A = this chain, B = another copy of it.
Amino acid sequence: MALKDVVAGVRNEEGIAAVLGILKQSFGERFQTGQSFREQHSHTTSYLPAQLPDGVVFVETSDDVKTVVRACAAHRVPMIPFGTGSSLEGHINAPSGGISVDFTRMNKVLSVNAEDLDCTVEPGITREELNTYLRDTGLFFPIDPGANASIGGMASTRASGTNAVRYGTMKDNVLALTVVTADGEEIRTAQRARKSSAGYDLTRLFVGAEGTLGIITSITLKLQGIPAKISGGVCAFPSLKAACDTVIMTIQMGIPVARIELLDEMQMKAVNAYSKLSYPEKPTLFVEFHGTEETVALQAEQFREIAAEFGSDEFRYTANAEERAQLWKARHNAYWAGRALAPELNGLSTDVCVPISRLADCVAETQADIRETGLLAPIVGHAGDGNFHVLMLFDDKNPADLAKSEAFMARLNARALAMEGTCTGEHGVGQGKMSYLEQELGSAIPVMRSIKKSLDPDNIFNPGKIFRM
């Protein structure tokens, strides 16, 4: 169960009071303790209840971060890094109080090395801001988790999204980091070379650590050339299994599809209603191809053949940029479309990921469970990775409804784990998935805990997340 993990931690009142004084002194107007600031920094699109920080500091430089870390370390006060607040598992909650470290103003592009296809940015920049900045270089940063998240937040949750199937996740696209550690010093985890065997892979340790081991202050990212040609399309299927089998075959054939997204019947109904479209309300794949004029046409044709083999309806293919934008806008609005199915209810978006051979089974069993439980819960997935989301809609004022949703979620996670999958493909653990992580990798948690203790002995970096200390 997830809600039971949102527990209050022990508050170090004396330390917090001392730090509030120091930060007011150091940051003036850039440090805020008003209720609305504090609420805004723990409010998320999650169903999890907010746990407010005691203050919010708007950092602008690495030195600011060092100042905050030194003050908090001296008084053993928690720090919670904040990007845009789009995380889903309570990552920015402050169960033991402390300081929200807001990176909104620390959002510069520090360098772009077009020849090397890389750039270095501050953590607060959002992926859309970065891509706007890059537009004239012919390069783009591909990772797209849907929300216009900050790059720092995306690194910290090991985010991915629609085109991870082609370009990988944040794990694959961060070349190096600078991080302020518990002693208030800044370290660099790697050089700018494309590969290295030089020592422990600290880059990958901080990517996905959810801010529990240190505070990221800059990120060196791989970039991609904007494809000469992008095309895509929509294809409905007689059954979920047919859609999933099409995905499996596409991946196994090595077709370098850039996006291959699965939407189930309920999700298509929601998309049509929300975006005023008229797609068939059947299990559907949204696909996209990146390459040259010739290669995208070739890929599309190969995909069409596979889809036809599994009995698909017509593959509505387009190389027209406007039609493509409309298609992906509809996909990206899937969350809000889902919520609009029942605007009076709250939503719980959860994600699991299984080996691709088990995707059809896992989604089908989950759909059956949704029907049996009587839930309103559309499914949408990054099918090429075996990763899918269930948006459960429920009345959070109704304990029975909440209990039903959480019991469903427990079954969903158990199902994914039994299929050698993971309790989270891209959302992260935060507070909401601590119990499931325990089920998934219980034997490894003592190792994670040792690392946490060694790098953050006073448990001041985003405490109460990922696992219990």
Contact A443 B188 (CB under 8 A): yes
| Chain B CB within 8 A of A190 CB | yes
Interface set, chain A 190-241, CB cutoff 8 A to B: 190-202, 204-205, 207-209, 213, 224-225, 227
Return the chain B residue nearest A453 by Cβ.
B454
A378 nearest CB across to chain B (Å): 21
| Chain B CB within 8 A of A398 CB | no
* C-alpha spacing A117/B191, complex, angstroms: 31
Q: Which residues of B contact A444 (CB under 8 A)?
A: 187-189, 199, 202
Interchain CB contact (< 8 A) of A118 among B159, B198, B355: B355
* C-alpha spacing A466/B427, complex, angstroms: 34
Contact B355 A421 (CB under 8 A): no
* C-alpha spacing A115/B355, complex, angstroms: 9
Contact B422 A387 (CB under 8 A): no
| Chain B CB within 8 A of A253 CB | yes
Q: Which residues of B contact A428 (CB under 8 A)?
A: 197
Interchain CB contact (< 8 A) of A448 among B158, B202, B385, B436: B202
| Chain B CB within 8 A of A464 CB | no
Contact A429 B160 (CB under 8 A): no
Contact B455 A447 (CB under 8 A): yes
Interface residues on A, range: 35 or more
Q: Which residues of B contact A204 (CB under 8 A)?
A: 171, 201, 204-205
A345 nearest CB across to chain B (Å): 26
Contact B193 A420 (CB under 8 A): yes
Q: Which residues of B contact A437 (CB under 8 A)?
A: 198-199
Given contacts A196-B425, A424-B198, A454-B453, contact A443 B191 (CB under 8 A): no
Besides the known contacts A116-B356, A199-B208, A199-B466, 14 further A-B residue pairs in the complex with CB atoms under 8 A apart = A158-B197, A171-B201, A187-B444, A188-B443, A190-B422, A193-B385, A193-B416, A198-B423, A199-B437, A200-B205, A205-B451, A225-B252, A295-B295, A447-B455
What 5 pairs across the A-B complex have the smallest Cβ distances?
A204-B204, A454-B454, A115-B357, A196-B422, A192-B420
19 contacts between A and B (CB under 8 A): A113-B355, A116-B355, A116-B357, A117-B251, A158-B196, A186-B443, A188-B444, A190-B422, A191-B420, A191-B421, A193-B354, A194-B386, A198-B422, A198-B437, A199-B437, A200-B448, A227-B254, A294-B298, A447-B455
